[in-house]
Chains A and B, each alone.
Chain A
Amino acid sequence: MLSKRIIPCLDVHEGKTTKGVKFKNNVEIGDPVEMARFYYEAGADEIVFYDITASYQKRGIMIDVVRRVAETIFIPFSVGGGIRTVADMRTVLLAGAEKISVNSAAVRNPDIISQGAKAFGNQCVVLGMDVKRVGKSRKIPSGYEIVINGGRTFIGIDALQWAIKAQDLGAGEICLNSIDADGTTDGYELTLTALISENVDIPVIASGGAGKPEHLSDVLTTGKADAALIASMVHYGTYSISEIKKFLDSRAIKVRKTW
């Protein structure tokens, strides 16, 4: 049986790791290469990097950070932010990333998912979704809407319909981020996570809101997620990955315990 993956997420802005609340007021908290190494040694199963300003300011992602991370850690890591073309994907993969995450660019041009899957395999293409609860309507039947440009722009796309479409186009995984929960440390958006997980066949990584180990056990059981993204709860030293895994293990959730 596969272990549930615990994935620290590093938001990178101009080469530094930052953290915000609900996508705003980001403060600098460290060097991404050092932090990646620290989490690797602490038992992270994977690491996610987002170049959070890339898509907004329309600049390329920091290949140099990716290259240095790849020389330092020997677990899978994915990189997102500002990836718009197959050429962008190739650059990031050759720098050493295992997966690339597309978000706003895939909403504007869904073909990038199928092109990326064809060129590098489905397992390389992660669909990043930033989602906000808006209430059910004729246009948004699930009650959850996709937001692009780092949480800035609504474009009238239903989150569930988009997840299914992206899977059909060849996305190998979904990283599902709730903007309502992001940075609050009040827990993941369980309803949203279960809704998407139950309706796609590809793995779903839950993101946004983790504040204590109970939140992870909730989203990996009730939320039916395959993996859980964490940030604040480990970035500030509140919990270690090993403490989180011990807790999950005590709740009979299968996690990787040796590293």
Chain B
Amino acid sequence: MTQIIYVPDDAAALSVGAEEVAMAVEAEIVKRGLDAKLIRTGSRGLFWLEPLVEFATPKGRIGYGPVGVADISAMFDDPAHPHSLGLVEEIPYLKSQQRLTFARCGITDPLSLEDYESLGGLAGLRRALDMNGTDIVEQVVDSGLRGRGGAGFPTGIKWRTVGATQADQKYIVCNADEGDSGTFADRMLMEGDPFLLIEGMIIAGIAVGATKGFVYIRSEYPHAFAKMTRAIEVANAKGLLGNAVLGSGHCFDLELRLGAGAYICGEETSLLESLEGRRGQVRPKPPLPAIAGLFGKPTVINNVLSLAAVPTILAQGAAFYRDFGMGRSRGTMPVQLAGNVRRGGLIERAFGLTLREIIEEYGGGAASGRPVRAVQVGGPLGSYWPQRLLDTPFDYETFAEKSGMIGHGGVVVFDDTVDMARQARFALEFCAIESCGKCTPCRIGSTRGAETMDKIIQGDRPMENMALVRDLCEVLRDGSLCALGGLTPMPVLSAMDHFPEDFSRPAKAAAE
């Protein structure tokens, strides 16, 4: 029987040598004359174990990781090699997860539509093809799915608006401009299970009467762009996309567009401007994109994870999805654990998991072995939280009550060497670098804020300058059109509120 061996070609796995490992595995197969076959997959999201090599066995897949080229030969000799992890599915980090969106990621060949279908793919689309648009939309509304990009707006309500708007052309736009530091779930999904996103977009198209979709992928993700390009080619060739979706009367075409290194284009109206070929400057709302979006037409614009949740909702029913979660946060959230943490990776669980469980039980604490001092949740515009807030459950409303946000689900861990005044300064500097320039508080206030923060760091009248920064943050929050200016105060104020000791050091100490 042919021995199947799996090695990821996910960008993160490649960044620590998965390509070299795959080549060494191939060479070893040839050298030993084995009846074996190498399959490249996405990543399981257990990044501290990458490169993770898996051998198929009758009991399940046995994993080895992290594997270097030098380990390969011994791994073939000895199934109980020191890097053996046993059955991958039994690794507690993975076993305790509730993977709905990431159910296939790291398991299948991402470009095999046959593999996709054999593991439950296309069931949602097939069901949608037997329904009318309104019923599909109502399923998504009933599921309680909220936008996974960060804003948490109910996805089904957005779809309902687009569905109810009459137009000769409507669009589905996927926001794959995953710019938040500490997030990589969109990237992993596009690289590891691209057909899921494609399926979700087709269902959205059928639901609202749109026949064309665009995926806007950031240029920092060349691997995801390449994988999606090939997946769309396969989908076109196999009749998943095109004039007759799976032989039905529905047509749906999908195109990719590459971003050009602007964080602001993750904001939906900037993204639409960029897609149209303009500077990525924020549009005022109204009109909502659902009524006048891309090229002035009604447009569903959703994050990768929102669209990728839809096939599960259609296949298993709204109630199945809604039964996961807590409060008004329904379903599962792919949490991305990153930064200074021992076991960083993707954790898809129902809402309600606490930050402490994420960081300590999954993450195993700081990679440096030092105490965890601060955690930033929700990307560069998310709050910095101290230890005492770590028992907060992952839930949109609970986070908001504590002046935080879950955003796109990124959790970045810092140990006790972090200087929170510098982090606050960085938040303002980042806003200055990435501001689209439309609103004055964001365009100019961010630069003035960074300068004022420099004074605080130098010990120059810290109390007076902190009052100035607070005042400026209020103007940014209230006077900006979009979330970049509006939320930059979150990391700044949370750092000042929760870590005041970092902002009031004597001038001398800060000078070194």
Q: Do A and B come from one complex?
A: no
Binding site for A on B (CB under 8 A): none
